[in-house]
Structures are given as C-alpha cells and as structure tokens.
Amino acid sequence: MIYRLEIDYNNLPSETFFSPQRSIPFKMDRRLSPSEYKQYFEDITPDGCSLCHVYKAPILAEWRMDVPLEVTLGGCDMPDVLVLNGITYVSEPAKTIIESHDPFGHQFWPIKVCDESGGLVTNKPYYHMNMRRYVTIESQEKPMLDTDFSVHPELEGKHIATIQQDDRVRAFVVSLPLWIHYYPPHSLGHALFMNEVMYKALCERGMKGIKQFTQYGGRQGELVAHV
C-alpha cells in the first residue's frame, strides 16, 4: 500500500488552522520557487528503473528552514506529521522514526509552534523537514482507476494512473519510505507519500494526525488517503 498525507481542512474542526510564518526582514522570502529548488536536484535514478526518475534535493540554508508555525487547534490534537502545501513539519518522535526507517539525509530544523498571541502550543519539540526525495513518474496516458481522494486528472491523476496500472512502477515506489512528486520542469507536488513500512512504524509509536480514510474523502480526523 502507498499512503498519501496532506492537510485537508474539511476533515478537521472548523476552528483549526495551520500557518507557516514566512515574513522576515530585508524583503527576504523563505519560500523557494520550484525552479530555483530543482536546479540543484541530483539525479539518483537507479539503473533499469522504468518510467521513474528519482532526485535528491539540496540541503537548504538556515534562513530557508527557520519557518515557525502558527497554530489554532480548535479542539484537535497537534499532528506529529503535518504537510501544508508541500511544507512538512514533524515532531521529535516522528523525526526519530523517519531517520531510523529512511536514512536518506532528510534535513530538519527546530522551529516554534505558537498560537496567534505567540504562546507555545506544545512542549514537544517540532521541526521543519526538508524532505529530500522527489520522484517523477511518467504518464502512460492510461485512465485512472477509482481512488478514495479527489485527484486532478491532468496533474496528480497522470502519475497516480501509472502507479495503479504498471506493476514495475508500483513495486518501485512501494520500496521508497517517503517521497513527493516532481512535475518537470517547474512544479513540485504538495502531498507526501509513504510506504507501508514507514506508515506502520509511525502508527506503532502512536503518532497523531495520520488516521487513514475510511470512506471517499475521509471522515473527521482522517488525513491519509491510499494509492
């Protein structure tokens, strides 16, 4: 199984909100444009890998990683793995699990998790994670099969269909603990994908915010879809 994680506010209490805090002096912007980021990608595609390309993203400068998080929980638990439009935050326990099960050199930077008044939301350490594995999956122009989440047919749908219908591609991506899709030449995906080994390791340690969908689109508190 391949698991797909991304925040969906429809499945969270109405008052819940997560906001990366980007503003810093001198008109600098912590956001990297996809084109700026991808020019430093290292192609690490294994020999004989069919229809897939794998890239290792660069280590980012401190000022890019130091992105605090403002949170309004609205009665829900603070997730241990939080994916916001391609920006990933993890708790200390989740970081430990990820480093143990995916020694890929992902980058972590400690950040503050505060409410709108600046007060700490949790005493648990949190990190901005630079998830460094990106995968491009070629489209075979095959129709997409049913999914349990909403898919844009001209974007994510194209590589989802390839995973669904090509056994070689599926076997390869199932072997990857964590990855995000890269759409050449300039676009990066928002969702974080993980394999069953990683997902089970997070669940066994009681990580919050990773409940699986039990119906199309998920129910309240469910943020993990399937491919």
**43-66 pLDDT per residue, tens:** 999 998 989 999 999 999 888 899
Q: How far apart are CA 93 and CA 100, in angstroms?
A: 11
Res 32: pLDDT: 66
- For 89-99, the pLDDT digits (tens) are 999 999 999 99
Asked if residues 4 and 151 have their Cβ atoms less than 8 Å apart, the reply is no
Res 168: pLDDT: 95
Res 29: pLDDT: 58
For the four alpha carbons of 122, 6, 104 and 32, in that order, the dihedral sign comes to negative
Domains contained in the chain, number? 1
Cross-strand partners of 43:
55
Which residues span the domain enclosing 79? 2-226
What per-residue string of b and e applies to 165-174 under the rule 16 or more CB within 10 Å gives b?
A: ebeebeebbe
